[in-house]
Amino acid sequence: MDDPFTEPADTREAILGAAFRALCEHGYADLTIKRIGEAFEKSPSLVYHHYDGKDGLLVDLLEYLLERFETAVSEDAFDLPPRARLDAYVAAMTDPGGVDDEYAPDGRFLVAMVELRAQAATDEAYREHFDRSDRVFRRFLERSVREAAAEPVANAETSPERNDDVDPAAVAATLQTLATGAMLRWATTTDREWTVAVREEASRYLSRTLPAVDPDA
Amino acid sequence: MDDPFTEPADTREAILGAAFRALCEHGYADLTIKRIGEAFEKSPSLVYHHYDGKDGLLVDLLEYLLERFETAVSEDAFDLPPRARLDAYVAAMTDPGGVDDEYAPDGRFLVAMVELRAQAATDEAYREHFDRSDRVFRRFLERSVREAAAEPVANAETSPERNDDVDPAAVAATLQTLATGAMLRWATTTDREWTVAVREEASRYLSRTLPAVDPDA
């Protein structure tokens, strides 16, 4: 993931940028407001002035990143046909560090995201954020599945499996849960064999559920 | 999950039982060796005598629970046909608290497991455990998928999708990643709508990939 804070528009964005860099460098457990202040280009005291503690700052960072994603979706920044959008989602979930895409988080950020998400097990503010975040991604996926299901089939005669009983909400929930699991496995295990297996099987699943469209249709 | 330590065979099991109860009661972040000692029926000093800190004790607890699972698998304690075994796995992943099964972890234990797994993002001992744990569950799932794929199809003429190109390793990796994601979502969000959607879609996926067998075959 590229640093989304290269040109901060205001003090909040500059502080969130410092928090983002410090989080990627130190990880959640070793992160302190002091370290965020050290990553901040202006006076560290400004950080204390705006935020009471690291968790309030980190939840604000998560909200900011989610709003950026929502803006990108609403502005159709994902300039891909719906099925290709889903393929890209599957590719990113199984190779989070290898995708050359602004929205594909790199390894250290992904590890930090897992640490932050684990806070939601016991912290209400994080939990509210991840409930909201899951809803935003669900809507994005559900819309993509619905659009892909509405497209004409490449070859209706040889694709008998394509049918009208695709349940966009169920397909979206499954892809989202699979991606959440891939994120957790990626951040907490050394083995990487499963990533190839999951990518292949998820692609097979998508091809059965939402066969590719006829480009000439 | 029932308390697996009702009849501890030795001091180690008695200490691990205390750690299990204290972990479910306090969660990872608020757990201390002192609190484990308080949940221990004998002298708390025995806990300090056997373990240097809470993380060493918790990794030993995880290993103990994993060994129990391995023993159950090797003794064919899962007395179900392979396809029903996979259905039970899918049911348990989307309703971890509602399954009346010794191996279905209840809510508090599940939350604690997510907290412990998050430690593996930065702690080598936890990471080694979860690498090993993922391998054990992968082998269990892969064997179940292979056995289910080898069974005769209920009605070969009306089940044209059943074929020999089922990749047991890929199906197992996908189910395992889905279950890992369900565990993380379950522990870190309040929404439960996705559980029904994922169960339905995962069942549909299993039925397509591994159609039910003919009971009379």
Would you call B153 helix, strand, or coil by DSSP?
strand
Q: What is the DSSP string of B68-110?
A: HHHHHHHTT-S-S-HHHHHHHHHHHHH-TTT---TTS--HHHH
Contact between residue B18 and residue B37 where contact means Cβ atoms under 8 Å apart: yes
More confident residue, A154 or B178: B178
Tokens of B31: 């757990």
- A205 part of contact set with chain B, CB < 8 Å: yes
- A27 part of contact set with chain B, CB < 8 Å: yes
Contact yes or no for A135 and B191 at CB 8 A: yes
Tens of pLDDT, residues A165-185: 899 999 999 999 999 999 999
Q: What is the DSSP string of A103-159?
A: TS--HHHHHHHHHHHHHTTT-HHHHHHHHHHHHHHHHHHHHHHHHHHHSPBS-TTT-
- Chain B residues with CB under 8 Å of A190 CB are 127, 131
Backbone angles phi, psi at A40, to 5 degrees: -90, 135
Tokens of A206: 């998508």
Rg (CA), chain A: 19
Tokens of A143: 């819309």
The region, left, alpha or beta by phi > 0 then psi within -120 to 50, assigned to residue B76 is left
Beta bridge partners of B153: B213
Contact between residue B104 and residue B92 where contact means Cβ atoms under 8 Å apart: yes
- B114 part of contact set with chain A, CB < 8 Å: yes
Band of pLDDT at residue B42, cut at 50, 70 and 90: confident
Query: Would you state the pLDDT for residue A97?
Result: 63
Q: What mean pLDDT do residues B147-162 have? A: 68
Q: Which fold has domain B1-77?
A: Arc Repressor Mutant, subunit A (1.10.10)
- B198 part of contact set with chain A, CB < 8 Å: yes
Nearest-angstrom CA–CA distance, A41 and B123: 31
Beta bridge partners of A153: A213
Among A18-22, B38-42, B44-48, the range with the most confident prediction by mean pLDDT is A18-22
Band of pLDDT at residue A145, cut at 50, 70 and 90: very high
Is the predicted pLDDT of residue B129 greater than 80, yes or no?
yes
Query: Would you state the pLDDT for residue B110?
Result: 87
Query: How crowded is residue B121: how many other Cβ atoms within 10 Å of its Cβ?
Result: 24
Mutate to test the interface with A, among B55, B201, B205, B209 (most CBs of A within 10 A): B201
Backbone angles phi, psi at B213, to 5 degrees: -85, 160
Q: Where are the domains of chain B?
A: 1-77, 80-217
Q: What mean pLDDT do residues A126-147 have? A: 96
Band of pLDDT at residue A123, cut at 50, 70 and 90: very high
Q: What mean pLDDT do residues B22-43 have? A: 91
> Considering chain B, what is the average pLDDT of its residues?
87
Which amino acid would we find at residue A94?
A: T
- B111 part of contact set with chain A, CB < 8 Å: yes
Question: B54-63, B127-136, B148-157 — which is least confidently predicted?
Answer: B148-157
Contact yes or no for A121 and B115 at CB 8 A: yes
Tokens of B108: 């508090």
Largest CA-CA distance found in chain A, in angstroms, rounded: 68
